Amino acid sequence: MRLRIRYLAFRRSFGSLTLETHGPLGTLWTGLGLGAFYTALIWVNLLLGHMLTPLFILPLTWLQDLMARRKAK
């Protein structure tokens, strides 16, 4: 009996499965939003690579210079 009640409740709430659409304007709006999001994501990743690379390279060159000086002595 419980299974039948659950089935009827499911059927009542999901009786007509329709596809909700917002037309071409919604599609264009979503496309513009996703394009802006991915453009910003690429820009941030490029900026981070451009700004963070010297933070790792400069101390590494200092360490290499120090090791070369010690080796020369």
When computed from its CA atoms, the radius of gyration of the chain, rounded to whole angstroms, is 30
In angstroms, rounded to a whole number, what is the distance separating the alpha carbons of residues 54 and 51? 7
Secondary structure letter of residue 10 according to DSSP: H
Q: What is the pLDDT of residues 12-55, one digit of tens each?
A: 555 555 566 678 898 899 999 999 999 999 999 999 988 888 88
According to the per-residue pLDDT averaged within each range, which of 2-6, 9-13, 56-60 is highest?
Answer: 56-60
Structure tokens at 7: 């089935």
